[in-house]
Structure formats: C-alpha cells, structure tokens
Amino acid sequence: MFNLLVLYPEHLNLNGDLANAGILARRMNWFGFDSAIEFHHPGDPLPNSQPDFLLLGHGSEAAWQAVRRDLTNNWSQLKSWIDNGMYGLAVNSGQELLHEPAFELFSNTLTSGQRKSNFAVVESDLVLADKKLLGYQNSETNAPLLERYRNFLGTQLHGPLLAKNAWFADWLVSQITGEGHPVPANYSQSWVEAVSSFEAGVWALESELAGE
C-alpha cells in the first residue's frame, strides 16, 4: 500500500489542487498498485510513518492564516521526510510559502511584481529531459514555474497539473513504486487510452493559448 498525504484539503484547494492526489492514486491503481489518500487537518497528528507522497496546495491569504501555525509546528517532521527522499508537490502559494525563511525549502528569495495570468508550457528537465509540462500560471511573484529540492517539486502551474500531464503522474508512479516502466493492468487499458486522448485535446487548445 502506497500512502499519499494531502495537507489541509479544505483550505488549500483553490484551483482544484486536491485532484492531483486523486489522479496520482487512480493512475497507481490502473498500474496495479494499491494506494490510499490521507488528509491532514489543523490540529491533527501527522502519520506515524513517512508517506510516499505529499501534496501542499494553493490557498487564499485567509486560508494560509488558518493553517500556518499547524504547518510551522509540523515543519520539522515534514522537512525530515523530504530530506529522506519523500516525493511531493507544492503548488502556487504552497510553493511560494516554502521560499520563506521559516521554511526555506527552496532557497532563492522571491519578489513581487505585475501579476501574470496565462497558460504556460514549461521545460521539465528537472524531472525528465525533453519533456514539457502544461498548466496555468496566476501569480505576482517571480517563483520559478518549476523547481526541485531532492524529490520534492514546486510549481506555479495549476489546473490541476497532473490532469494535463499524465507522463508526470506516471513518472511519479514509477519513482514511488520503484517500477521503472509500469504497465497498465488489462482492465484499465481503455481508461488510460481515453485519458490520453482527452489530454491531447487539452494540449492542442491550451498550448496554442500559451504561444507554443
């Protein structure tokens, strides 16, 4: 059983970020792996053992005020898991928060400027060479569209990201499970193909809007 931990789902799901965990879990199941999603709420204890994947989504200023103390109190444990190789994804304001001195997972200092709100296609050599990620950027900081600390990735792209980039979800599946080239189970082959077809349509539309 592979465990996926989502932090503060009621607060940090402003752009459908929670779906990233659902997509990852479903694709793991399609490839024949058992998985479970666990939700962490303010005041809850963290799991006793290191999860296989951690999701930190995007939220409003009020949402961050509601969860910041809990995140601060649990950061030492979360950071130790990340340092130990846990895979994860922080989206938009979740990524930006991890640049702050209190957390400083990503080291460069961010500055604010004119808001950028647009579709974007990003080179993803930090994950796999010659691959690209499609998503939507809506922020006013200079946070990188994609960055990485060990196995933990931060991105400004939402939409949610894994819904538009199945290769990225499948890369996570291969890394988390240790299976270099996972193959869909027979029963799920038609679902994998259907999602691939739908994704191609999304890419055709949104990549053009991104100017690619």
- Taking the C-alpha atoms of residue 192 and residue 212, their distance in angstroms, rounded to an integer, is 25
Compute the distance between CA of residue 172 and CA of residue 155 in angstroms, rounded to an integer: 15
Domain that holds residue 127: 2-209
Number of domain units in the chain: 1
* 25 band by pLDDT with thresholds 50, 70 and 90: very high
Q: Whole-angstrom Cα distance, residue 46 to residue 67?
A: 14
Is-above-0.85 flag for pTM? yes
| pLDDT above 90 for 5 | yes
Where would I find the beta strands (DSSP E) of 21-161? 35-40, 53-56, 87-91, 112-123, 132-141, 146-149, 152-155
Segment 90-133, tens digit of pLDDT: 999 999 999 999 999 998 889 999 999 999 999 999 999 999 99
Sheet architecture: strand order including 146-149: 35-40, 2-7, 53-56, 87-91, 152-155, 146-149
Q: Give the count of beta carbons closer than 10 Å to the beta carbon of residue 71.
A: 21
Q: Which two tokens stand for residue 210?
A: 């991104």
Q: Would the pLDDT of 88 be above 90?
A: yes
| Terminal-residue alpha carbon distance, the chain | 39
Cα–Cα distance measured from residue 19 to residue 70, given in angstroms and rounded to the nearest whole number: 22
CATH number at residue 113: 3.40.50.880
Cβ–Cβ < 8 Å for 163, 23: yes
CA distance 85 to 108: 21
Cα–Cα distance for residue pair 10/41, rounded to 1 Å: 8
Check residue 109 and give its pLDDT.
86
Q: How far apart are CA 48 and CA 201, in angstroms?
A: 42
140-165 pLDDT, tens digit each: 999 999 999 999 999 999 989 999 99
CA–CA separation, 27 vs 25, rounded Å? 6
At 30 the three-state DSSP class reads helix
Q: What is the pLDDT of residue 34?
A: 97
